[in-house]
């Protein structure tokens, strides 16, 4: 596909790098000569200096043949105008990053009038992700498939779990009380592993499991993970993510306290969120946190503008026994140390934004063919992916036992959903037209089910 990205900031550059790696043709429009000079030798992409709202610049970027235009400048208004201009000039699909909460109320109108096909609000998307994590405090992350019927969660193997040293093929024999879920991926010392039967667990492994909602919840209860719901949350930082998150949590009847250091912003939040407890203070000051009841809250979330402050405050909360801690971290080089600090639930604005757009691009890539990607989640900082497909009636592997099919060595068929029923497949299971299939793979750029499953 030919994709034009307008805006070469952190998100635009990260997105372009992923798209180039997936063999898309990418053109980047950026008006800052300094940014262009810094980035143009880093990627195999076409760089064009100019404004994304300029007809001449967009024509230079060959916008008329663009399959997708993605506007991710710092300005919502420019992003909207880029999409309108690009679509008028012939671009087939337009994505705009729009962050201001005021525009969120008129999203449908903006999409219709400005010819925007997909609006991404990173702060709201981040808030939704955090709220999902808080629903299941025993897991580091939660992803949903098959219209909410299937969930994927992860946990760290601890000494008290009794998993260490057990081979995967022996797990249900040794622990007969465990509900049957699929162990679909493992992260060990920074490496992504698609486990086979002879794989043995080690303490500290980050294990991803997938199944239907009831079974996976029962599994975590059986291994002693705390499934008690979160009823009170303390948030440090009063930015847009906090606003969206607080709205969601208050609707879920969760008590919300927000620590904000800026008096003007604290006053705004008091007016915008009258049901929340707004605290004027320094969220990095441990004494302030304790005095305001940190240890009485079920969850602690750090969303300030400084990653270092977020990490240290989160670490303090985790060390003092707060049940669930979520930390915002936008520095990729900090990610490896967070797990070592016990901070498994980390969120990254750049990653959430680029992953959401990549998911949209991937579904567009297969839009004209069968078995296209329906949902996509990047796991372990992109080392693996979980993909959802719908099986078309034309596939040669329909009706063939799974044991007789060739499944890519780096992939695993995780779940089949048929007529609303979720099944973990074994060798005698067969695909039928209309099945929803979840596949976990270490390969990036997979667009169709036939790329990982073939008739033997």
Q: How far apart are CA 210 and CA 331, in angstroms?
A: 29
| Number of domains composing the chain | 4
pLDDT at 96: 96
- Asked whether residue 73 is domain-assigned, the answer is yes
Residues 25 and 75 in one domain: yes
Residues 111 and 7 in one domain: yes
pLDDT at 133: 86
- Asked whether residue 353 is domain-assigned, the answer is no
CA dihedral sign of residues 66, 72, 77, 78: negative
- Asked whether residue 166 is domain-assigned, the answer is yes
Residues 19 and 111 in one domain: yes
| Closest to 205 in 3D by CA, of 195, 197, 215 | 195
Q: What is the CATH number of the domain that holds 75?
A: 3.40.50.720
Residues 13 and 103 in one domain: yes
Residues 166 and 269 in one domain: no
Query: CB-based contacts of 413: which residues, under 8 Å, 6+ apart?
Result: 402, 407, 425, 437, 438, 439, 453
Residues 264 and 320 in one domain: yes
What is the pTM for the complete model shown?
Answer: 0.78
Residues 316 and 238 in one domain: yes
- Asked whether residue 91 is domain-assigned, the answer is yes
- Asked whether residue 395 is domain-assigned, the answer is yes
Residues 94 and 201 in one domain: no
Q: What is the CATH number of the domain that holds 179?
A: 3.30.70.1450
- Asked whether residue 227 is domain-assigned, the answer is no
Helix H or strand E encompassing 232: strand 232-236
Q: How far apart are the first and last CA of the chain?
A: 30
Residues of the chain under the 50 pLDDT cut: 368
Question: Token match 């592993």: residue?
Answer: 193
Residues 206 and 133 in one domain: yes
- Among 198, 222, 246, residue at a domain's last position: 222
- Among 120, 148, 176, residue at a domain's last position: 120
Residues 191 and 100 in one domain: no
- Among 222, 247, 277, residue at a domain's last position: 222
Residue 299, domain extent: 232-347
Q: How far apart are CA 248 and CA 77, in angstroms?
A: 26
pLDDT at 49: 94
pLDDT at 84: 96
Half-sphere exposure of 33 (CA within 13 A, CB side): 0
- Asked whether residue 363 is domain-assigned, the answer is no
Query: CB-based contacts of 91: which residues, under 8 Å, 6+ apart?
Result: 4, 63, 64, 66, 67, 68, 69
Residues 200 and 272 in one domain: no
Strand 94-97 versus strand 118-120 pairing type: parallel
- Asked whether residue 362 is domain-assigned, the answer is no
């Amino acid at each position: 596909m030919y994709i034009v990205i307008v805006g070469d900031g952190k998100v635009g550059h990260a997105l372009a790098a992923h798209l180039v790696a997936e063999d898309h043709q990418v053109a980047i429009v950026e008006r800052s000569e300094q940014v262009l000079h810094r980035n143009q030798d880093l990627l195999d992409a076409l760089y064009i200096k100019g404004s994304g709202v300029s007809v001449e610049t967009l024509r230079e970027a060959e916008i008329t043949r663009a399959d997708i235009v993605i506007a991710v400048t710092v300005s919502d208004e420019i992003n909207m105008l880029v999409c309108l201009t690009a679509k008028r000039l012939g671009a087939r699909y337009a994505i705009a990053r729009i962050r201001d909460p005021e525009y969120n109320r008129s999203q449908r109108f903006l999409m219709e009038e400005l010819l925007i096909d997909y609006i991404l609000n990173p702060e709201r998307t981040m808030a939704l992700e955090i709220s999902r994590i808080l629903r299941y405090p025993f897991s580091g992350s939660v992803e949903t498939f098959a219209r909410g019927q299937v969930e994927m969660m992860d946990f760290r193997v601890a000494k008290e779990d009794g998993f260490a040293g057990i081979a995967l093929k022996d797990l249900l024999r040794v622990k007969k009380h465990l509900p049957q879920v699929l162990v679909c991926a493992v992260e060990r010392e920074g490496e992504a592993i698609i486990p086979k039967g002879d794989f043995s667990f080690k303490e500290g492994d980050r294990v991803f499991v997938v199944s239907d909602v009831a079974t996976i919840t029962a599994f975590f209860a059986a291994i002693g993970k705390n499934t008690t719901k979160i009823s009170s949350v303390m948030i440090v930082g009063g930015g847009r993510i906090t606003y969206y998150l607080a709205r969601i949590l208050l609707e879920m009847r969760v008590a919300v306290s927000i620590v904000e250091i800026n008096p003007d912003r604290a006053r705004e939040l008091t007016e915008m969120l009258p049901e929340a407890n707004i605290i004027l203070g320094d969220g990095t000051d441990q004494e302030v946190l304790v005095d305001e009841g940190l240890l009485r809250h079920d969850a602690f979330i750090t969303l300030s503008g400084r990653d270092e402050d977020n990490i240290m405050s989160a670490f303090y909360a985790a060390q003092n026994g707060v049940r669930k801690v979520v930390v915002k971290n936008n520095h990729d080089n900090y990610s490896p140390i967070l797990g070592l600090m016990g901070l498994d639930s980390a969120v990254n604005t750049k990653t959430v934004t680029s992953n959401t757009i990549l998911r949209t691009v991937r579904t567009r890539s297969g839009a004209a063919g069968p078995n296209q990607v329906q949902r996509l989640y990047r796991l372990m900082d992109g080392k693996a992916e979980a993909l959802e497909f719908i099986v078309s009636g034309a596939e040669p592997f329909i009706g063939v036992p799974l044991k007789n099919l060739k499944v890519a060595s780096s992939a695993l068929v995780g779940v089949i959903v048929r007529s609303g029923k979720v099944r973990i497949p074994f060798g005698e299971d067969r695909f039928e037209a209309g099945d929803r299939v979840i596949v976990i793979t270490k390969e990036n750029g997979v667009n169709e089910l036939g790329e990982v499953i073939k008739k033997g």
